[in-house]
Amino acid sequence: MRRTMLQAKLHRVTVTHCELDYEGSCAIDEDLLEASGLLPLQKIEIYNVNNGERFATYIIRAERGSGVISLNGAAARKAQKNDILIIAAYVEVEEAELPGFAAKLVYVDGQNRIKSTASEIAVQPAAGWNRAAE
């Protein structure tokens, strides 16, 4: 059996450009690509935190160290400059590979500079949960 797993996530990146008259894609700073293991021309899912839009496109490389997250072509209609995005990619993994599988999670600051990386998402307490009440 194969499972679709999160391969990589760029968490809460900020849109720096929306280029409607450019060939459709998402330009991503090469530093972020390297940290996440994402590649040019790879399919990505984009989740816009500001407006709830969810859409797919592909990656093109932006200049290293530029902090660029640019939505191009039709994708430029799905966000505005300064919107916050989650960019995710998924991969098919064989059941036998799951024990060693780890995602690459990249967390950034307001200028899309890497703050930290991780291989799993921290467990969040349930809404309304109160440890003191236990």
Compute the distance between CA of residue 50 and CA of residue 2 in angstroms, rounded to an integer: 33
Compute the distance between CA of residue 68 and CA of residue 17 in angstroms, rounded to an integer: 7
Residues marked active site are found at 25, 58
Backbone phi and psi for residue 70, each to the nearest 5 degrees, phi listed first: -120, 125
